[in-house]
Chains A and B, each alone.
Chain A
Amino acid sequence: MIELAGVSKTFASRSGAVRALDDVSLTVERGQIYGVIGRSGAGKSTLIRTVNMLEAPDSGTITVDGVDMTSLGEEELRVARQRIGMVFQHFNLLNSRTVRGNVEFALEVYGVAKAERARRSAEILELVGLTEKADARIAELSGGQKQRVGIARALAGNPSVLLSDEATSALDPDTTEEILGLLRSLRDELGLTILLITHEMDVVKSLCDAAALMRDGRVVEHGLLTDLVMRPESELSDGLFPLGELPEGRDTTVIEITFVGLASQEPVITRLARTHELDVSLLGAAIETLGGKQTGRTRLELPGSPAAITAAVEDLRAQGLSVRVVREAS
């Protein structure tokens, strides 16, 4: 649905050229919610702006719904943008208009006739739960309500794609949850494909099917969350399962076992104890719903001979579990 191939972008700045995007390739499937996470300055913001060509890349291609965005002329680009909604961290609403007026602004741009504008805006405001606030001024709204208006405006063109630029970063945790829920239901009901950027792992965790980690303009790793967590060395997976620091001052082997679907968990610990005669102690465990699937990770401490531990780890891997040796006894 969205495909970036070899996209690069360099900005000139006082301190020299800044490579905001360095050969970025990314594929978002239809109906997917895809999160790009990274620190500020990692290039996320530039990345999402290349998708609707608010930022034209220096090289590479960007395909949205089969259309090569980089090949479009000004007029064609305007038409293509109507099918790509965008919401912003600071909402970017027109204070000179009411809630309804902000949605109608988009409809006016699309050349929708007046009567139809009223009908469509009412319909969209109902979809985002703002019917009662239709005639309110923007200044009268809470942050969450403002973002709902932003989403409503983005939906005005019946988009197939929604771009979310840190849409919840200016909101408190409860409101964030509310907006993420709205985005999820819009994907489910309208079949939207959503590409979002964020610096909050919680957003990725609770909303996304797939994610990419960006650093210094590059995509460091990417994939479905359920695949990422099974990759033992994945940095994203560490963020998804924060089990905390390892206990200090003990010379023991520590492993982490990750599994998708909870059924596979049960026999693991007893099996280690019984088959391999290891005195397993549980250091930590977490269960998260990632990409709609229950996923768990346990951190175990395994005292015992290196040979026994190696055999145990191989046995676990043979069962299809993702095992990462976090610390090895010396």
Chain B
Amino acid sequence: MIDETDPEFWPTLWANVGEATLETLYQVSVTMLLTALIGLAVGVLLVVTDRGGMLEAPFGSRAFGRGLNWVLQVVVNLGRSIPFIILMIALIPFTRWIVGTAFSVTAAIVPLAIAAIPFFARIVEIALREVPAGLMEAGSSIGATKWQLVSKVLIPEAGPALVLGLTTTAVSVVNFSAIVGVIGGGGLGDLAIRYGHQRYSTPYIIVVVVVLVVIVTLIQAAGNRMAMRMRGGGPARTR
């Protein structure tokens, strides 16, 4: 039990919350960076290796395309179906192998990214499938390469949906990052557990909740704004 009347209580709380917030932001940022890159790549692969996709037969082998697509589907489904808390614990040996320890602010990024990548990859897949086939056909008629079709047509045209999907993923990652507190992953979740739960300090719980709400709100607002601009609500861009 913490003495909340102690004059040092609030300054300590703010210092702790500040540190934990930075840890959470660091975890979420690095996780989102990895997720955006890898999830986008996996999502694109899911679409282009599908039947009728432009890479349905990579290296001239239809069987390879089918196989690759099947493996990716299974991996994405697996990643999405395992509850995060179980995934996190199951990954402890893997995390230790990668980072050297399984219990640190940085180590927590491994399970976070592994949970977020399939989640985002599925959202990417859905967003890319919404891009009209006619646009790809127009690109092909110009003589675009497969890479140009992906980078200049598929991804930019799905832009607003991808940004909103990334936003949803980021909010989930903020959520998950609180759970890693259970295994000493640092951040706001850790703080809430150590002070709020184990030492029954209600102010800690309240402040952590408020900070989390603010972070989520800011992420969502930024995502909405960016998607809106891309849809043409904002000033026109030349490119």
Residues of A within 8 A of B (CB): 52, 54, 77-82, 84-86, 88, 90, 92-98, 100-101, 104-106, 108-110, 135-137, 139-140, 153, 156-157, 163
Which chain A residue lies CB-closest to B152?
Answer: A105
Contacts of B236 in A (CB 8 A): 98, 135-137
Is there an interface contact between A157 and B239, defined as CB atoms closer than 8 Å? no
Given A92-B137, A92-B138, A137-B232, A79-B239 contact (CB < 8 Å): no
- Binding stretch for chain A, among B97-105, B141-149, B193-201: B141-149
Q: Which parts of B156-175 form the interface with A (CB within 8 Å)? A: 156-157, 159
Q: What is the predominant secondary structure among interface residues of chain A facing chain B?
A: mixed
Is there an interface contact between A135 and B135, defined as CB atoms closer than 8 Å? no
Is there an interface contact between B141 and A90, defined as CB atoms closer than 8 Å? no
Which chain A residue lies CB-closest to B232?
Answer: A137
Contacts of B134 in A (CB 8 A): 88, 90, 92
Which chain B residue lies CB-closest to A52?
Answer: B141
Is there an interface contact between A78 and B143, defined as CB atoms closer than 8 Å? yes
CB distance from A203 to the nearest CB of B (A): 20
Cα(A157)–Cα(B144), bound, Å: 12
In the A-B complex, list the 9 residue pairs whose CB atoms are closest, starting with the nearest.
A92-B138, A81-B143, A96-B156, A78-B143, A86-B141, A92-B134, A82-B143, A137-B232, A109-B144
Which chain A residue lies CB-closest to B148?
Answer: A109
Cα(A136)–Cα(B232), bound, Å: 10
Residues of B within 8 A of A (CB): 132, 134-135, 137-145, 148, 152-153, 156-157, 159, 230, 232, 236-239
Contacts of A92 in B (CB 8 A): 132, 134-135, 137-138
5 contacts between A and B (CB under 8 A): A81-B143, A97-B239, A98-B238, A105-B152, A109-B148
CB distance from B30 to the nearest CB of A (A): 28
Cα(A52)–Cα(B137), bound, Å: 11
Is there an interface contact between B157 and A79, defined as CB atoms closer than 8 Å? no
Interface residue from A52, A86, A100 paired with B238 (Cβ < 8 Å): A100
Is there an interface contact between A108 and B152, defined as CB atoms closer than 8 Å? yes
Interface residue from B139, B142, B237 paired with A98 (Cβ < 8 Å): B237
Is there an interface contact between B137 and A94, defined as CB atoms closer than 8 Å? no
Is there an interface contact between A139 and B148, defined as CB atoms closer than 8 Å? no
Besides A80-B143, A88-B134, A96-B156, 12 more A-B contacts (Cβ < 8 Å) are A77-B143, A79-B143, A81-B141, A81-B142, A92-B132, A95-B157, A98-B237, A101-B239, A106-B142, A109-B143, A109-B145, A109-B152
Cα(A1)–Cα(B96), bound, Å: 67
Interface residue from B132, B142, B148 paired with A153 (Cβ < 8 Å): B142
Cα(A137)–Cα(B230), bound, Å: 11
Cα(A103)–Cα(B225), bound, Å: 27
Which chain B residue lies CB-closest to A84?
Answer: B141
Contacts of A88 in B (CB 8 A): 134, 137-138
Cα(A189)–Cα(B236), bound, Å: 33
Is there an interface contact between B135 and A157, defined as CB atoms closer than 8 Å? no
Contacts of B152 in A (CB 8 A): 94, 105, 108-109
CB distance from B21 to the nearest CB of A (A): 35
Is there an interface contact between B142 and A157, defined as CB atoms closer than 8 Å? yes
CB distance from B100 to the nearest CB of A (A): 42
Which chain B residue lies CB-closest to A75?
Answer: B145
Contacts of A81 in B (CB 8 A): 140-143
Contacts of A137 in B (CB 8 A): 232, 236
